[in-house]
Amino acid sequence: MLRFSKPHDLKGTLICVEGIDGSGKSTQLAILRDWVQSIGLDVIYTEWNSSDLISQTTKLAKKKNLLSPRTFSLLHAVDFADRLEKIIIPAMKAGFVVLADRYVYTAFARDVARGVDPQWVRNMYGFAIQPDLTAYFSVPAEVSLKRICSNRAPKFYEAGMDLKLSNDPYESYLIFQNRVNKEYKKMVSEYNLFEIDAEESIHTKQMKFRTEFKKILAKKGISI
């Protein structure tokens, strides 16, 4: 955990959002991105499982239900490593604000919820850059499911159907996402995540998010 265990010394700022599906984290990050751009800061955005190198392989394996929990974990680690070296670190060296929709904490939560050893997962991501701020949008699994079902049914892996928790995808979703939430709750104190109640209004959540972001900039000598 060498690099991830200590604050980075790069010029830029790394801001991450975490939370289960339906927590509104992506919406909050998009609003923050527009605001950061409006105040004249250089910003770049990256999201989980989006590397050109590996994302298509992961999608194909998911489609054919070929992934064991550990294989799932390894593929996402490769994806993350590629984006870290090609996108995140270069942008940080150039002084950009990097906004990450999910970071290593997603692996720490989901993979462990699938039964992978917590220390094994954490050690695998020891090469990661420590974020300046990670906002965790906390929402009950029941609320998450209701929000998702307003547009679509739960997806196979999203519902943890690969774990055979239940033949009912909705029940399986609740069981699996409750497990994920449990891991996130542990990380709030372990990694000093900034927890935000995802059931608050969009405006209230954004103001809390911006306030913490401003504190990070102030520490770097940037006033806005």
Q: Is residue 39 situated within a structural domain?
A: yes
d(CA 176, CA 172): 6
pLDDT for the residue 57 = 72
Q: Is residue 83 situated within a structural domain?
A: yes
Q: Is residue 2 situated within a structural domain?
A: no
What mean pLDDT is predicted for residues 61-67? 66
How many independent structural domains does the chain possess? 1
pLDDT for the residue 68 = 81
Q: Is residue 178 situated within a structural domain?
A: no
Q: Which domain holds residue 55?
A: 13-138+192-216
**Tens digits of residue pLDDT in 17-48:** 999 999 999 999 999 999 999 999 999 999 99
- Amino acid residing at 139: V
**Tens digits of residue pLDDT in 186-219:** 999 999 999 999 999 999 999 999 999 999 999 9
- Amino acid residing at 68: S
The secondary structure of 152-215 as a DSSP string is -PPPTTTTTGGGTS-SSHHHHHHHHHHHHHHHHHHHHHHTT-EEEETTS-HHHHHHHHHHHHHH
Place of tokens 């927590």: 23
pLDDT for the residue 66 = 64
Q: Is residue 184 situated within a structural domain?
A: no
Q: Contact 122/108 with Cβ under 8 angstroms?
A: yes
Q: Is residue 152 situated within a structural domain?
A: no
Sequence-distant (6+) residues with CB within 8 A of 25 are 17, 18, 19, 101, 102, 135, 137, 198
What's the CATH code of the domain at 83? Answer: 3.40.50.300
pLDDT at 65 over 90: no
- Amino acid residing at 158: E
Structure tokens at 198: 């995802």
Q: Is residue 161 situated within a structural domain?
A: no
**Tens digits of residue pLDDT in 104-114:** 999 999 999 99
**Tens digits of residue pLDDT in 132-164:** 999 999 999 999 999 999 989 999 989 999 999
Cα Rg for the chain, rounded, in angstroms? 17
Q: Per-residue confidence at 61, pLDDT binned at 50, 70, 90? A: low
pLDDT at 118 over 90: yes
What mean pLDDT is predicted for residues 93-101? 97
Q: Is residue 77 situated within a structural domain?
A: yes
